[in-house]
A = this chain, B = another copy of it.
Amino acid sequence: MKSVNASIITIGDELLIGQTIDTNSAFIAQELNKIGIWVKRKLAVGDAWDDIWYALDEESKNSEIIIITGGLGPTADDITKPLLCKYFGGKLVINEQVLKHIEYLFEHVFKRPMPLLERNKKQAEVPDVCTVLMNERGTAPGMWFMKNNAVFISLPGVPYEMKGLMTKEVIPRLQQHFTLPVILHQTLLTVGVGESILAEKIKDWEEKLPPHMKLAYLPHFGMVRLRITSIGDNKNDLEKELEEQFIQLKGLVKEWMVIDEDMTLQQAIAKLLKERKQTVGTAESCTGGYIAHLLSRDPGSSSNYKGSIVCYDNKVKEDLLGVSQEILNTVGAVSEETVTQMVKGALQQLKPDYIIATSGIMGPDGGSENKPVGLVWIAVGNKEKIIAKQFQFKFERSRNIEQTAIAALDMLRKFVLSQ
């Protein structure tokens, strides 16, 4: 069975001048994939009548499903709704259910005492040729249209509202409307190896993959995810076959593999610590709390993450972590001695099982001949043992911070496994 194709159209000049990064379409694609719909094209166009119209025409030649986000807000740069109305040959009418919902939101959620503004009321207007998809999370409703055997779905651009509509309205309706094939993915995460070496290692295996299975390399900083995608009719057969291939792949890359799930490095660490009922804390200079953020942003992190001391200022390194003035004045803040002392100090202060410590020069300024931009010392340890390692990253500031965090988390992972 061939998969059903979708196109995602995101609308808004802000996307085209690079002021906003589109995260909506990634979420939409993930949700569609889970039910066996393949996203063939993703397109962003500006708030221009002709460009949107042309996009609707073109994408419906490519795909049976067209999902449109953005262009539904209450402000004047939004032209999507009148356009959709004309495109599908309807007229705008107030939808009473939507209007009641907007009134409810203003009274009970936004708690605005004033009467509704005209432009807020207008959000209850929908083309009379669409099926309204109620948006519990906001004022702009979703809309479902049919034309020339294609389904067009328009969703608000606010991520939180779009997500609610996708999950509660769009996905169940698409499953009812189409007969869908099965798409399965298996993903693993590697750290510390480049694409080329991975590819060499698994070349023979990859060449023998059956045609309905596909391997993708997804590099991201110092990490590469490998993903097998399989498409077919029979879920059980497909699962079994995919599992067999995945076991072979895991065997081939085991020296670099962090985890055999579609997880981030910090999620893999959280899983590892949970299994061992252990906790971690951080003492961060150059990463400025970024590792703390990574360790605390997933649900349930309080069971394995204790806290951090961000010692951006050297005085904080001295006062809270016990790094001596002598060390700071002789070998300096970016040194093995400093990060080792930071681990010791933070173990005492925060009382976790493990501490990660970082100190380095992230750039663009602050480098010297002896300590160039990108030089970083990382230490990990517990009460018994501390390991420190020097790195030299060669990127711009934000990527140096990211790379330092990845290297530090991978050092922690290996340290925990060695215990």
Contact = CB atoms under 8 A, between A and B. Distances in A.
B297 A401 contact: yes
Contacts of A23: 21
Given A195-B74, A289-B289, A313-B306, A160 B395 contact: yes
Given A29-B16, A199-B76, A288 B297 contact: yes
Interface string A191-215: 0001111111001001000000011
Interface stretch (A86-94, A142-150, A314-322): A314-322
Interface residues of A, number: 110
A291 to B, nearest CB: 8
Interface stretch (A33-41, A172-180, A237-245, A375-383): A33-41
A286 B365 CA distance: 32
Interface in A311-333: 311-313, 315-316, 319-320
Interface stretch (A43-51, A250-258, A408-416): A43-51
Contacts of A319: 349, 351
Interface string A11-29: 0011111111111011111
A363 interface: yes
A371 interface: no
A60 to B, nearest CB: 14
A219 interface: yes
Contacts of A196: 74-75, 117, 119-120
A187 B290 CA distance: 28
A338 interface: no
Query: Most chain-B CB neighbours within 10 Å: which of A293, A309, A315?
Result: A293
Nearest to A364: B299
15 contacts: A16-B29, A18-B30, A18-B33, A18-B39, A21-B26, A76-B203, A76-B215, A77-B217, A288-B293, A289-B310, A299-B364, A301-B312, A306-B312, A308-B312, A320-B349
Q: Which 8 A-B pairs have the closest CB atoms?
A: A288-B296, A289-B292, A18-B29, A289-B289, A18-B30, A18-B26, A308-B310, A42-B44
